[in-house]
Amino acid sequence: MDYVEGETLKSYVAKRGGKLPAAEVLTLFQPLFKSLARVHGIGLLHRDVSPDNIILRGNGTLVLLDFGAARQMSVAGEHSNTINVKHGFAPEEQYRTRGEQGPWTDVYALAATMYRLITGVMPPQALDRLTNEAILTPPSELGAVLTHAQEAALLHALAIRTEYRTKSMAQFEDELYAGKPVVNIPLAGVRSERVSGVPPVPPQTPPPAAAKPKIKRPALTIGLGAAALIMIILVIGTLIDKSANDTEEPASSGKIQIEAKANAGVADTSKKTGDDSGSLTAAAVEPTSVPVVVPDIVTLTLGFGETYWCTPNDFDLPYEIKDSEIDWEVVSYDSGITCDNGLIRAGNVQFDISKGYNSIAVVKGTTSNGSQLQYNIQVGNGQTYSFDWSSSARSMKAVQGYTYIATPEIRNCDGFTLNFGFDLSEGKINNPNWSVYVRENGTDWLFIQDIYVSEDTYLDYDIVFDRPISFTEIIVQPQKQYDYFSYTNWYDVKNLVFG
């Protein structure tokens, strides 16, 4: 396999100050629309379009690389996807093992790449947009010079829901370059509504899925099929500059990357209770009247606050069953997990800071014929923390004391539970109110709240931030007074709250 000589767009745009004029990006990218349309025309998807997978050659043309994540399009009802995502460029359906992928998947990634180059800003992660935790700002509000029609076309291609998104490369090219009217632009997930055209149609329930993955974990499969895909894209890439009668120079350097990441616990808010999400095999079997105990246990890993829809498609059942025929319940209530009509929601508390994940929570489903289905769920981000005392006393508010230092820095935290108490050895402390401070970003001390503390009493206190804070140190001090005193104290951070 030949290498392609040139420079990645990621490197090129960095040298140009982080972004490019919109007119330059539009000119460079138009041939890629036709190349990807040809790829889609033979039933393939790229699934990893991003600035570091596009080479700018010396003659000013672009070549799309890295078909390591490519796959053939599935026929209706067949989706068991390997999860390959590049955050900011991957649409929400790539985060789900049963996400409905098609040409619109590459449309989103290509539009996200153009958005990044034009604005200098990375698009928000699709999952954050899906749960309304992040908003996509229109390019014009970030200084990009585009016509109203061009901006509308770009935002249409970046619609978070597939049913509202541009469906093909040909449609995207027509809307972006030929100014054809844009329809079905989503109102949700975009900061401004001024580019909206026809209101979106209601979300449609995707076709039922047949594949039944048992374990949600990252996977990357590369075989003869992938090798054939790489050969195909190299052939198609050379078509870009044939019209200019350029001769391909011998390849001497280049890049091929294969990246696989997974994110379990995707919230699919288009799913409704009572939908028929069951699937039929080629030879469908009628539901049995005898209860079947399924030995398979599906393991999920969710981040704090993430959600996941329970579905019988995750289990090996010898018969078809509908979502509405299963009653789901949490059977371990101390884990912070909830399950409401089949929607699992992870808690936001890391109960043991020395462990990257909370203890396994169990959600069980009972089918209408008595079969038992089970999810084992671990919640967390894999990060562990420890605390230790500072090597010397700090002076704050005329009081000296040692600080409690976190390793590593605790990022984007919403609070913690602190076990605290003190023993007075000399003097007198007049005021029972003690002040809690944290050191934000390792620089500034930030007052959080006062707690009422009695001598020789060690209690748990809920320390609540009014916004997410990244901090490295904690100190609790008595409020300023002029009596001499000396004391020893005790700190213990028992859990952390995120999101």
How do the pLDDT tens digits run along the chain, 499 residues long? Answer: 456 678 999 989 999 989 999 999 999 999 999 999 999 999 899 888 999 889 999 888 999 886 544 455 544 434 444 445 788 899 988 887 677 889 999 999 999 999 999 999 999 988 888 777 788 899 999 999 999 889 989 999 999 888 889 999 999 999 999 866 654 443 333 433 222 233 333 333 333 433 333 333 333 233 333 333 434 343 334 333 443 334 333 332 222 222 222 222 223 333 333 343 333 333 333 333 344 444 468 888 888 988 999 988 888 777 788 888 899 999 876 678 899 989 999 999 999 999 989 988 999 998 888 888 999 998 998 899 999 998 888 777 656 778 999 999 999 999 999 999 988 888 888 888 899 999 998 888 999 999 999 888 889 999 999 999 999 999 998 876 656 778 888 889 999 999 7
280 assigned to some structural domain: no
449 contact partners, CB below 8 Å, separation of at least 6: 435, 436, 463, 464
Beta carbons of 243 and 136 less than 8 angstroms apart: no
225 and 319 fall within a common domain: no
368 and 433 fall within a common domain: no
Domain CATH number, residue 332: 2.60.40.1080
37 assigned to some structural domain: yes
228 and 317 fall within a common domain: no
259 assigned to some structural domain: no
163 contact partners, CB below 8 Å, separation of at least 6: 184, 200, 201, 203, 204
60 and 154 fall within a common domain: yes
429 and 482 fall within a common domain: yes
Cis preceding linkage at 408, omega within 30: yes
Beta carbons of 432 and 464 less than 8 angstroms apart: no
CA distance 138 to 452: 48
Phi, psi of 339 (to 5 degrees): -140, 115
Q: How many CA atoms lie within 13 A of 181 on its CB side?
A: 4
Spatial strand order in the sheet of 338-340 = 307-309, 343-345, 338-340
240 assigned to some structural domain: yes
Q: What is the DSSP letter of 169?
A: H
| The total number of structural domains that make up the chain | 3
Which position has the token pair 């109960």?
351
Beta carbons of 131 and 161 less than 8 angstroms apart: no
Both tokens of 112, joined, read 């996200």
130 and 182 fall within a common domain: yes
Domain CATH number, residue 47: 1.10.510.10
Beta carbons of 446 and 496 less than 8 angstroms apart: no
452 torsion bin: left (phi>0), alpha (psi -120 to 50), beta (else): beta
108 assigned to some structural domain: yes
321 and 465 fall within a common domain: no
15 assigned to some structural domain: yes
Residue 320 amino acid letter: E
Q: What is the Cα 499 distance to its own chain's centre?
A: 14
134 and 95 fall within a common domain: yes
Cα radius of gyration rounded to whole Å, the chain: 28
Domain CATH number, residue 456: 2.60.120
Coil, helix or strand at residue 405: strand
Average pLDDT, the chain: 74
1 assigned to some structural domain: no
Both tokens of 428, joined, read 């007198």
CA distance 179 to 133: 32
Asked which of 379, 399, 428 is the last residue of a domain, the reply is 379
Dihedral sign of CA atoms 181, 183, 188, 194 in order:
positive
Both tokens of 453, joined, read 């503390």
Nearest-10 Cα torsion for 311, 313, 316, 320? 100
Neighbours of 140 (CB within 10 A): 18
Asked which of 357, 379, 401 is the last residue of a domain, the reply is 379
345 and 455 fall within a common domain: no
Which structural domain, as residue segments, surrounds residue 227? 7-244
470 assigned to some structural domain: yes
160 and 98 fall within a common domain: yes
121 and 228 fall within a common domain: yes
420 and 323 fall within a common domain: no
The H or E element that residue 148 is part of is: helix 148-157
